[in-house]
Structure formats: C-alpha cells, structure tokens
Amino acid sequence: MAQQDGRLGQEGMATEEKDPKTGTAGGTMRADGNPDDSRGSLFRSNLPRPTMADVARLSGFSAMTVSRALKDGASVSATTRERILGVIEEIGYVPDLTAGGLSSKRSGFITALVPTINNSNFSDTACGLTDALSERGLQLLLGYTDYSSGREEELISAMLRRRPEGMILTGGFHTERARRLLESAAIPIIETWDLPEAPVDQVVGFSNADASRAMVHHLVERGYRNIGFIGGSSNRDTRGADRRAGYEAAMSELGLGEGHIITFGTPPISMEQGGQAIAQMIEQWPEVDAVICVSDLSAFGVIMECHRRGWSVPGRVAVAGFGDFEVSRCCWPSITTVTVNSYDIGKQAGELLLSTIDRIRAGEEVAPATVKIDFKVVSREST
C-alpha cells in the first residue's frame, strides 16, 4: 500500500514514475476511473497563442477597438464590447501584458524585497502591500534577499530589467552598486522597517534602536538591573544590529554598565540558537536576571531551554523578544515583546508608492516623505 511506501520511505529519496497507472501508488490515486491519462499531451503544443489581431479579425473590429473593449473607462459601445468579449471567450484569448507595457510604458507591477519570506512580520507587510496595490491593479513581485546585501544587489539588478513602476526595500543598507542602480532607475523607492540615516528616497519605518531602548526601560521599571542581550553574530541583519546598539545605549544611559551580550549564529537566529545562547549567557554571567532577544523566535528558544534546565521564567530570568510573533502570544509563559504593525508598514508603503507614482506622472515635484510607524512594548508573563 501506498502508506507503507511513505512510512518506510528512505529519507530524501524520490521516485519518478513514467506512468502513474502502473506505479506503486495503488488505487487511491485514480478514483475518477478515467483510464486515459491524457494530461499534458494536447495543450503543450507550440502553436501560437491567439493575439489581439485574431480577436479583431474574428469580431470584425480593429485591434484598437479590442484594446479599448478590454479597458475600463474606454468608450466602446455596449454591443461592440459584448461581441468582442464573446470572441475572446470563444477562442481563449489572454492579453499579453508585457507587450502592452512595452508600448504604454507601464509594466503594471512593483517589486518588494524582503530578507526572508518565512517570517510573519515580513509576510504581513507583503500582505499589506498587496492589498494597497491591488486596488489599482498593480501586481506585487516579491523577492527575498536571505539577509544578504549581495543578493539584494543581484535582485535589484534583475528586477530593474523588468521595469517595475516602484520598489519596496527592507532596511536602509545597500551596496554601492545597488544604490547607483536604484538612483538611476528613475522610479520611486521606499525603504521600510527602518529609519535609514541616508535614505535612497522615501521611508516607511521606525527606529529599531529606539524600540530596544524602550524595552530596556520596561525591564528597568520592573526592577531588573542585570540585563543581557542575545542576537546574531554578524551584522548581516542591520535591524538586529540597531536593536543591539539601542540596548547598549540604553544600558549606558541608565548607568547599568556595558551590558552582557551573547552573539550566536548568523541571522536570522533560530529558536535553537536562542536556547544555546541563554545557556552560555547564564554560565558566563550568572548575575543576569533578564535578557532581551533580537527576535521572538530566539526568545522562545530561550524559554524552552529554561524549561529544560528548570530555570523559572521570569523567576530566575526574565525574557523579552521582538516582533510579536504568534508563538510569543501563545507560548507559556507568554513573551513580552515589541509589537509593530507589520501589515500597516506594507499598507502605508503601498499607498505612499501609489501617490508618488501618480504625482510623478502628473509632472509634480515630489518631496520624499518619511512615514514613522509606531511600536509598543507589550508586557506579558515572561517579564
């Protein structure tokens, strides 16, 4: 039976069957009883797809009228449009947006680059973007940089070749060449999730350093004094580095010494790495009574490791995270964190982009704006 194949299957091995009908998968796969497996054999022909000219010929109108019938506000008589749409439906015509974009000089999409797509913060931002853009029929082309500015540069270069009408970036750090490319691209750029000192163009973000500062203050108010910080080892994640800098600044401002910092693994630092880091922290500085983690994920790892070792949270050590991920709300004890409206960052960035595009098209001068997004320390059980 198929289930046994699966259960006993070798890890990482895959088996390819040429004909599923005689394969090992058993009867469960072909329950529709269709003996012919003709999928794929017909429609992959290299025949040319119907074009607007085909629709024009078949409907008896010119291509231009077909084009108008497909647009929203165009002036076409109802009967004409009806007939044209009928032909389109009949022959399965699908408009070619790239050809249209070539002549109208509007590609109809914008690009967003995030460090990773597997992070609810950034995917929420992507959702906000999608929502803002789709109201105007713009599509979102998403790319992920893996926290590497080199990959970001490559992506920027690759994306620009498709002529996006705008670009959303995460953070304010880019390679020299990336900045040059962006500057000569002549499209609006929005940097997000940060407040860069030297922005490329527009900005929708917040100060990660200030957020960290606020968290230090929160812990101090709750009576903690020996506060440590857990983060990634390199500075690939500039927002993480900003959070660390904010922590150090706050500690020094409050006269709490230089602080205790454990850096562990390349960003994004994982749950497991958080667990390893807290062990190292407590071994090195047993006096530590609270830790701020660069993200909720590492904070969660810290808490689980504390469970394992029998250290009570927040009794032995208080734990704070960053980002308000679901896991920190649901975890026991729930995790004190910094919450940012990730969706709103995307929504606002999308709206700012749209209005900028409009103004440029109208020939107006556009003064680059900076939209500040609020953050808030959310106090939970872990502190």
Binding site for DNA (CB under 7 A): 48-49, 51-53, 60-65, 67-68, 70-71, 75-77, 79-80, 95-96, 99-100, 102-105
| Pair of tokens at residue 15 | 């088996």
Considering only 285, 311, 360, 379, the residue that binds its own copies (CB under 8 A) is 360
Smallest separation, CB 84 to its own copies (Å):
17
The torsion angle over the Cα atoms of residues 170, 175, 178 and 184, rounded to 10 degrees, is: 110
Smallest separation, CB 367 to DNA (Å):
27
Considering only 22, 71, 72, 198, the residue that binds its own copies (CB under 8 A) is 198
Considering only 22, 35, 36, 43, the residue that binds its own copies (CB under 8 A) is 43
The count of other CB atoms within 10 Å of the CB of residue 51 is 16
DSSP structure string for 212-263: HHHHHHHHHHTT--SEEEEE-SSSSSHHHHHHHHHHHHHHHHTT--S-EEEE
CB 202 within 8 A of CB 368: yes
- Gyration radius of the chain over CA positions: 27
| Cα separation values, 39 from 34, 44, 49, 91, 208, Å | 11, 10, 19, 20, 52
CA distance 271 to 80: 61
Smallest separation, CB 257 to its own copies (Å):
19
Specify the stretch interacting with its own copies by CB under 8 A; choose among 223-231, 257-265, 303-311, 315-323: 303-311
Q: Which residues contact 264 (CB under 8 A, 6 or more apart)?
A: 230, 231, 232, 233, 273, 274, 276, 277, 280
3 binding its own copies? (CB under 8 A): yes
The 140-179 site mask, x for binding its own copies (CB under 8 A), equals -xx--------------xx-xxxx----------------
Considering only 331, 335, 353, 354, the residue that binds its own copies (CB under 8 A) is 331
CA distance 171 to 234: 16
Among residue numbers 58 through 87, which ones bind its own copies (CB under 8 A)? none
| Pair of tokens at residue 34 | 């269709």
Residue 356's nearest CA partner among 174, 158, 110, 142 is: 110
Nearer to DNA, 70 or 317 (CB): 70
Considering only 36, 186, 286, 287, the residue that binds its own copies (CB under 8 A) is 186
- Residue written as tokens 């399965």? 92
**104 touches which of DNA, its own copies, none (CB within 5 to 8 A by kind)?**
DNA
23 binding its own copies? (CB under 8 A): yes
**375 touches which of DNA, its own copies, none (CB within 5 to 8 A by kind)?**
its own copies
**3 touches which of DNA, its own copies, none (CB within 5 to 8 A by kind)?**
its own copies
312 binding its own copies? (CB under 8 A): no
Nearer to DNA, 137 or 255 (CB): 137
Q: Which residues pair with 142 in a beta bridge?
A: 112
